[in-house]
Amino acid sequence: MLLQSIFIGLVAVFMVLDSRLLGRLNFERPLITCTIVGLIMGDLKTGLLVGAQMEMVTLGMMIVGAGGIDMNLGSIVGCALVISTGANIETALAIATPMTLLNSLLTTVADLIRLKLCHQCDHYVEAGKYNLAKRVDILYGPITYAVFNFIPVFLAVYFGADLINSILAVVPKFILDGITLGANLISFFGFALLLSTMVNKKNVVFFFLGFVIAAYSGLNLTAVAIISIIFAIVVYQIKYSDSSELQTAGAQVDKLDD
Amino acid sequence: MSKKGLEAQRNYPLNKKVKEFFWGGWCMQACWNYERQMNTAFMWGISKTLDRLYPDPKEDEKKKEAYRRSLEFFNITPQCGSFVLGLTAAMEEKYVEKPDTFDPKMISEVKVALMGPLSGVGDSFFQGTVRVIAMSIGISLAKQGSILGPILAMLISFGVSFPITWYGGKLGYLKGQQYLVEISKRNLLDKIMYGCSIAGLMVIGGMVASLVPITTPLAYGKALKLQSILDGILPQMIPLCLTGIMFFLVKKGLKPIFIILSCFVVGIFLNYFGILAI
């Protein structure tokens, strides 16, 4: 259990370094991290299911700058505890929520440390010690992230299972079922958040188009995603056909090639 | 002023320079702080260029000045950061070449001018569209128990992020200024954002309709089931309505954590009285 908790803690380090050192490749998302947790704990299937559930709920919670709510860390803990206690997958969200709240306190401490690091950088540059300034950014910065994500996850996974088990033993079944329903309701909050960052009166019709295609045809999301990319390119070409050789959003990438 | 540094910088292989911008972009949030956000990472990304440009200890004052410039407030989508780094490197070079005619203030001004638009288009492209598409495909596969879900989601994200960061850095360094004019003249960023929003919104619509099959068990006797009536009007009507309600709450500006906690309470209530079920 100790070794396993350490590994789960390292998953949290991997999670946070994705956005720090890999330009946010989405490896930090619950779908990925929970799958890894499942692999570590020898229950890939539950890992995948918790990952899918947590991803769905949190997909809309964009982390732009400092705002928003970050459930990535809570998802890892939730997934690990669901696997070790055998609770149902929606419980992951019920665990992740208080974990997120607790963690925001720790994050504040880490933020203060990094504020200090920023001043340290200024100081080293003024003193002409450029290499030290660089080290502060590329080494000490990520270390603050790694430490402040490893510790809470390790502690929660190592000591949390007993706590969750004793809670599950006393809570009546209708409440647990209700939490399952509630967790799924939160998915719609995620969708709504995502919508609110993109939608306006002019383009809301595309949301309904995607909805109607999926609702009536029963096509899966991969199909809907492909249709929507093609559709976006077609609309773009019709709308901006006369403007230039840069015709599609997708062609922008090819254009960068020369 | 000696031109030794300029020569060193020009003779340095292009691919190695682009590599610096690339990693500078990806590591853009290494030491994020509340005061100047990504400033230290920007300094790290441009530092090797500056070190080459000012090799002489006698030019230390100039070098220090350039480092100070790099430590000003900065914020950007990491993948777009390489473009700004490349462009800044090109301008720093120009400043060493023509210190009398090129005003170094322009470097800071260009950085500030690029931050907003590039973050806007970058965030909506990478976090809005790419992430939504990659994850929605991943979720639907993972729900069927396939490990292809997360793997595909990772591959899609990487496959988009890598080339844009790499060629962004290259383009910014080689033709950044020229492209700046073109981009603003053609309103290119707005157009790309428009295209992205279409694809993103359609996928969200698809997610609402297919990911969370919430139904109502309400019925009057055996014959009159509310769910089949609703399905006759519009399939997946309940998920659509729930999204509408949530959208209203988000627009009202309620705190996320309040909505999440309320969902649990409301879920217990609706489940207990058999109004909604999953």
- DSSP 3-state of A16: helix
Across the range A16-20, mean pLDDT stands at: 93
Instruction: Read off the pLDDT of residues A68-120 as tens digits, 9 standing for 90 and up.
Output: 578 899 999 999 999 999 888 888 988 998 888 888 888 889 999 999 999 99
pLDDT band at A22 (very low <50, low <70, confident <90, very high): very high
Taking the CA atoms of residue B218, residue B220, residue B223 and residue B224 in that order, the dihedral angle to the nearest 10 degrees is: -60
- DSSP 3-state of B220: strand
Q: How far apart are CA B270 and CA B149, in angstroms?
A: 32
| Domain spans in chain B, listed from the N-terminal domain onward | 1-211, 219-272
Written as one string, the DSSP assignment of A82-138 is HHHHT--TTHHHHHHHHHHHHHHHHHHHHHHHHHHHHHHHHHHHHTT-HHHHHHIII
Mean pLDDT, chain B, integer = 89
Q: Is the CB of residue B21 less than 8 Å away from at least one CB of chain A?
A: no
Is there a contact between B140 and B208 (Cβ–Cβ < 8 Å)? no
pLDDT band at A5 (very low <50, low <70, confident <90, very high): very high
Q: Does B278 sit within 8 Å of A184, measured CB to CB?
A: yes
Both tokens of residue B208? 């609402």
Q: Does B135 sit within 8 Å of A59, measured CB to CB?
A: yes
Q: How far apart are CA B83 and CA B166, in angstroms?
A: 9
Q: Does A232 sit within 8 Å of B198, measured CB to CB?
A: yes
Does A66 or A23 have the greater pLDDT score?
A23
Q: Is the CB of residue A67 less than 8 Å away from at least one CB of chain B?
A: no
Question: In this predicted structure, what is the pLDDT of residue B3?
Answer: 78
Question: In this predicted structure, what is the pLDDT of residue A82?
Answer: 94
Q: Report the share of chain A in percent with pLDDT over 90.
A: 52
Q: Tell me the shortest Cα–Cα distance from A158 to chain B, in angstroms.
A: 25
Q: How many CB atoms lie within 10 A of CB B237?
A: 17
pLDDT value at B7 more than 70: yes
pLDDT value at A242 more than 90: no
Mutation to test the B interface, candidates A144, A179, A191, A205, most B Cβ within 10 Å? A191
- DSSP 3-state of A1: coil
Does B215 or B173 have the greater pLDDT score?
B173
Across the range A10-19, mean pLDDT stands at: 94
Instruction: Read off the pLDDT of residues B208-258 as tens digits, 9 standing for 90 and up.
Output: 888 888 888 887 877 788 888 888 888 888 999 999 999 999 888 888 888
Residue ranges of B 64-93 with Cβ closer than 8 A to chain A? 64, 67-68, 71, 75, 78-79, 81
Instruction: Read off the pLDDT of residues B117-163 as tens digits, 9 standing for 90 and up.
Output: 888 888 888 888 899 899 999 998 998 899 999 999 999 999 999 99
Q: Tell me the shortest Cα–Cα distance from A157 to chain B, in angstroms.
A: 22
Cα angle, residue A159 at apex, residues A155 and A162 outer, rounded to 5°: 155
Across the range A147-170, mean pLDDT stands at: 90
Q: Is the CB of residue B44 less than 8 Å away from at least one CB of chain A?
A: yes
pLDDT value at A63 more than 80: no
Across the range B4-22, mean pLDDT stands at: 92
pLDDT band at B197 (very low <50, low <70, confident <90, very high): confident
Question: ipTM of the predicted structure?
Answer: 0.87
Instruction: Read off the pLDDT of residues B61-96 as tens digits, 9 standing for 90 and up.
Output: 999 999 999 999 999 999 999 999 999 999 999 999
Q: Does A194 sit within 8 Å of B128, measured CB to CB?
A: yes
Question: In this predicted structure, what is the pLDDT of residue A62?
Answer: 64
Q: What Å distances lie between residue B120 and A52, A79, A208, B78, B124, CA to CA?
A: 28, 33, 24, 12, 6
| pTM of the model as a whole | 0.88
A-chain CB neighbours of B26 within 8 Å are: 21-23
B-chain CB neighbours of A183 within 8 Å are: 263-264, 267
Question: In this predicted structure, what is the pLDDT of residue A120?
Answer: 93
Q: Is the CB of residue A232 less than 8 Å away from at least one CB of chain B?
A: yes
Q: For tokens 């992430």, what's the residue?
A: B131
pLDDT band at A147 (very low <50, low <70, confident <90, very high): very high
Question: In this predicted structure, what is the pLDDT of residue A60?
Answer: 75
Is there a contact between B202 and A228 (Cβ–Cβ < 8 Å)? yes
Mutation to test the B interface, candidates A195, A201, A230, most B Cβ within 10 Å? A195
